[in-house]
Amino acid sequence: MPRVAAGLALLAFVGLWQTLALALGDQVLPTPAAVAADFWLRLGQPEFHRHLLASLWRGSAGFFLGLVTAIPLGWLMGRLKTLDAFLAPLLFLTYPVPKVLFLPVLLVTLGLGEAPKIILVAVTVGYQALVVTRDSALNLDPAHLEAFDSLCPPRKPPLAKALALTRHVLWPASLPAVLTAARLASGTAVSVLFMAESFATDLGLGYFIMDAWGNLDLPKMFSGILAMGLLGGMFYVMSVVAEKTWCPWVKA
């Protein structure tokens, strides 16, 4: 039933697109078939692959970097009161700021290479992940902490104990929320990537789209948009699959 509904929704979307395209003319909006044909063609072109791979690399690296930095920092903030007292005000003051505003700063400080683009995606994903990881670490069930404390041999060294707590309690307790944050951040991550790629570079889907727009090559532009959409969709689906496979107890 959900599959049928999804199929109908897709059909309705394509139908609406087709109607609009016919009404507006292909100088404004190409038909779904025209875009599909163009996209199919480009899938075989090395030129397109270069742009696609560049965006895929920046997006994945940014996602990874963001999560790998934010998760441990969130645990530390949630567990260490003094650290949190310093960092939490900073976090919540800067949280509402659209992360894309960091782009000019990153371009000035890090130059025009790969680093500012990857870091912008990392910051976008990282903020979301940081907030929820800190929350999970702050709101651990006291019964779980007490169980851990009473099961831990009294003579276990403090560092080994902290690592065990992270592995057996902190990590699984925050994982579902982190993956949900990653899922919600996937759309924003791709949109900041688009921004970062739309100037001062000649590589990536952002450039590809803006270049096609400049040349009024609408089917090409829409192929780029479709590819970027699929990139965001891929991050979304990966977060969903990761939650299903790594957090089987959530649905249990």
**From the CB of 84, what's the least distance to other proteins, in Å?**
24
Tell me which residues in 116-155 interact with other proteins (CB under 8 A).
143-144, 146-147, 149-154
**From the CB of 205, what's the least distance to other proteins, in Å?**
38
**Quick check: 66 and 125 in contact, CB under 8 A?**
yes
Locate tokens 């949630």: which residue? 78
Q: CA angle, 188 as apex, 96 and 16 as ends, to 5°?
A: 125
CA-to-CA distance for 180 and 177, rounded, in angstroms?
A: 5
Q: Which is nearer to other proteins, 65 or 247 (CB)?
A: 247
**Quick check: 54 and 206 in contact, CB under 8 A?**
no
**From the CB of 96, what's the least distance to other proteins, in Å?**
32
Q: Is 249 in the site for other proteins (CB under 8 A)?
A: yes
Tell me which residues in 6-45 interact with other proteins (CB under 8 A).
none
Q: Which of 164, 184, 200, 234 binds other proteins (CB under 8 A)?
A: 164
Q: Which is nearer to other proteins, 119 or 170 (CB)?
A: 170
Q: Is 169 in the site for other proteins (CB under 8 A)?
A: yes
Q: Which is nearer to other proteins, 50 or 156 (CB)?
A: 156
Of 71, 99, 97, residue with least CA distance to 190: 99
**Quick check: 133 and 71 in contact, CB under 8 A?**
yes
26 DSSP assignment: T
Helices 2-24, 32-42: axis angle to 10 degrees equals 100
Binding site for other proteins (CB under 8 A): 143-144, 146-147, 149-154, 156, 164, 168-169, 172-173, 175, 247-249, 252
